[in-house]
Amino acid sequence: MSEKFDINVESEVGRLTGVIAHTPGLEVANMTPETAERALYSDILNLSVVTEEYSQLIGVLDKWARVFKVGELLHDILDNSRVRGGLVRRICEAEGVPDVADGLLALGSRELSRVMIEGVALEKDNLSRFLSKDRYSLPPLHNFFFTRDSAVAAKDKVLISRMANRVRGRETRIMEAIFDFHPELNARTVNPSRLGGGGSEVTIEGGDVLVVSPEILVIGYGARTTRQAIDFLIERFKGLGGRQHIVVQELPESPESFIHLDMVFTLLDTNTCMVFEPVIMQTHHYDTVHIHIEDGRVVSIREEDNLLSALGNLGMELEPLYCGGRTDRWIQEREQWHSGANFFALAPGKVIGYGRNNHTIEELSRAGFEVVPAVDVVAGKADIAELDRCVVTIDGSELARGGGGCRCMTMPIGREPLP
């Protein structure tokens, strides 16, 4: 058995040491136009192209940090009979098919972990099921390769998300079980559903939570994360004592490309960020609220001009780079739609994102980021450790149509502390 991995994330850009990812599989192919809408997609994806593009991301991550694969982690914990029985029955009860549990528990751990993600076929053994248009009793987890959403590592704890859409509830149950029971992960979980935050109005997803520093969280609220969920976190921090700053950024309710904060704002370096200007840089266009918690109470709560101003007041001066460039609003909107603001930091000043967003990549290049194709990194033709600032680009003709970028597809569980 490998040495236990201690969960510790105190920033968005500290050198990555551990990350959880999930390679898209048949759960992505098992989708029709009708089920795509139910699964929160606007289109169906081509798995062969998705696989080729995703291999560039995972190839870069493998060269940089320890990569934990969801399928392997799930298989490992399903070897534990106590975990196996509890998890399977919880999921089947939650999804309204308790009669499926016994059949699933008769499967081997490898097969069980596969069907829990790819979907459990509906057995047509009575008239109602025979006439049903559904193909699955447990639907495929079409969104699971967006591992960012289902849990958030902050310092040495893992916040289990409470998803806004029921179709993604199984993802959080699987991730909670992995963090609670996998022998290689040293983690402590915080689950709102188990700690008085289980009301339907309490939803929070990882794409809305940025761990800026040990004392600063930036949280988006909008379509997926609610004010009630942020209130839950405020109460948790009050109970812990010490000091915590939460900067809350309101997001537009539509279009769907604004579902999470990291679709309009990500950190690239200790002093640089990527922004979608119409949402982030406009003064009082969307609410920005700074909440200061200290010694068990809210010391102050006040409105700020915008997100960068709020962080500047906390001593974090950030130079904004613009998604889509600085001159054409239409180009900004087009590139934001395809996750042009969604970058994932491998280390300070070393980020990875979609190469398709040409104007965004040019903006990074002008700011001193060397542009490095991911295929060159994977092939050993480029070593990003030897570069100062760089942006590693992956192909995104198909992946981007799933509605997320490189930050969405990665859940960091370990980063080195910043100086």
The overall average pLDDT reported for the chain is 93
Q: Is the pLDDT of residue 42 over 80?
A: no
Q: Angle at which helices 70-78 and 169-181 pack, to 10 degrees?
A: 60
Contact status, residue 120 vs residue 136, Cβ threshold 8 Å? yes
The DSSP code for 256 is G
Nearest to 102 by CA among 139, 137, 77: 137
User: CB within 8 A of 116, min separation 6: which ones?
Assistant: 74, 88, 91, 104, 138, 141, 170, 174
Residue 193's pLDDT band (cuts 50, 70, 90): confident
3 state DSSP class of 375: helix
Ramachandran quadrant class, 289 (left: phi over 0; alpha: psi -120 to 50; beta: rest): beta
Residue 197's pLDDT band (cuts 50, 70, 90): low
Contact status, residue 55 vs residue 145, Cβ threshold 8 Å? no
Nearest to 74 by CA among 108, 101, 47: 108
> How many CA within 13 A on the CB side of residue 258?
19
- Residue 255: is the preceding peptide bond cis (ω within 30°)? yes
Q: What CA–CA distance (Å, rounded) separates 169 from 232?
A: 19
pLDDT of residue 283: 82
pLDDT of residue 281: 92
User: Which range has the worst mean pLDDT, 99-108, 128-137, 291-300, 328-337?
Assistant: 128-137
- 148-170 pLDDT, tens per residue? 999 999 999 999 999 988 889 99
Q: Is the pLDDT of residue 2 over 70?
A: no
For the record, the structure tokens of 142 come out as: 């079409």
Q: What CA–CA distance (Å, rounded) separates 302 from 306?
A: 12
Q: What CA–CA distance (Å, rounded) separates 102 from 151?
A: 28
Contact status, residue 9 vs residue 154, Cβ threshold 8 Å? yes
Residue 199's pLDDT band (cuts 50, 70, 90): confident
Contact status, residue 308 vs residue 320, Cβ threshold 8 Å? yes
Contact status, residue 246 vs residue 231, Cβ threshold 8 Å? no
User: CB within 8 A of 85, min separation 6: which ones?
Assistant: 105
* H runs (alpha helix) in 201-328: 227-240, 277-280, 307-313
Q: What is the average pLDDT across 399-407?
A: 91
Q: Is the pLDDT of residue 134 over 80?
A: no
**Domains identified in the chain and CATH numbers:** 5-67+141-415 (3.75.10.10)
Q: What CA–CA distance (Å, rounded) separates 372 from 381?
A: 10
Q: What is the average pLDDT across 335-352?
A: 97
Residue 29's pLDDT band (cuts 50, 70, 90): confident
Residue 112's pLDDT band (cuts 50, 70, 90): very high
Q: What CA–CA distance (Å, rounded) separates 65 from 5?
A: 12
Q: What percent of the chain has pLDDT over 70?
A: 96
Label each residue of 129-171 as H, E or C.
Answer: HHHCCCCEEECCCCCCCCCCCCEEEEECEEEECECCCHHHHHH
For the record, the structure tokens of 357 come out as: 């967003």
pLDDT of residue 282: 85
CA distances from 18 to 2, 32, 184, 273, 405 (A): 14, 34, 12, 22, 19
Q: Is the pLDDT of residue 198 over 70?
A: no
Q: Is the pLDDT of residue 179 over 60?
A: yes
Q: Is the pLDDT of residue 1 over 60?
A: no
